[in-house]
Amino acid sequence: MAIDWFRFGSPQAFFPVAGKMVPWFAFLAVAFALPGLYLGFFVAPTDATQGESYRIIFIHVPAAWMSMFLYLVMAGWAGLGLVLNTRLSGMMASAIAPTGAMFTFVALWSGALWGKPTWGTWWVWDARLTSELILLFLYLGFIALKAAFADPQRADRAGAILALLGAVNVPIIYFSVQWWNTLHQGASVSLTRAPSMAATMLAAMLLMALAAWMYSIAVALARVRSIILERERDMAWVRMSAGT
């Protein structure tokens, strides 16, 4: 390993690297989303019980997966920042939060649109839906808490504690359908057993999930660049590259 990973812990070193990676991940997001959408809406067969309405799954499940996964990544960065006292970690956590909140909202909203034709209701207070709603509040709380501090270092520390506390909610969301009686059905795809969907449906869903990953990385990197510029605006390297 010739690469010194700690070098990229400095915002100054990370800034140009992130800039180079953004278009690649944006391209990959489109490259996965187009065949995913095509497979999902034109190739995948109609579902035996739900008819066409099940196709919301191609948006709903990737969004729900990303909402949980991004929270763990965000909490991981925040925790890393607490331990190592690196400036970039807090910035990465801040950059991920809005995307995570967006995916949580999409998961809740598409779930409501899906629930009405299948279950017969937009919303129920079952364990899965309620814990996902709490996740949205955790994201919004994280963003609001960080915005409440004028000093970015204190904001990072306070935000990190909230992010780590809230991480407990993620396994609760994931396992809620196993632990309790819920209206929400169990997982169709998990690591422990074969998926319970037709092959083309699964392929479309996984492509959409990959697209959501790539999109998240691209957006988080683009956002962290703005955050770096904003926070390091008094640093010599930012002033020099800005030409002031």
Q: Rounding to the nearest 10 degrees, give the CA dihedral for residues 56, 132, 112, 223.
A: -60
Q: Where are the beta strands (DSSP E) in 54-115?
A: none
DSSP character at residue 143: H
Neighbours of 203 (CB within 10 A): 17
The minimum distance between CB 197 and other proteins, in angstroms, equals 4
- The whole-angstrom separation of Cα 113 and Cα 116 is 6
Q: Which is nearer to other proteins, 200 or 226 (CB)?
A: 200
Q: Least separation, in Å, of the C-beta of 167 and other proteins?
A: 8
CB 63 within 8 A of CB 112: no
Name the residues that contact other proteins, by CB under 8 A. Answer: 45-50, 54, 57, 79, 82-85, 117-121, 124-127, 164-165, 167-168, 172, 179-183, 185-188, 194-198, 201
Q: Which one, 46 or 226, has the nearer CB to other proteins?
A: 46
Q: Among residues 59 and 82, whose Cβ is nearest to other proteins?
A: 82
Which three-class secondary structure state does DSSP give residue 212?
Answer: helix
Smallest gap from Cβ 177 to other proteins, in A, equals: 9
Which residue's CB is nearer to other proteins, number 98 or number 141?
141
Provide the minimum distance between the beta carbon of 213 and other proteins in the complex, in angstroms, as a whole number: 22
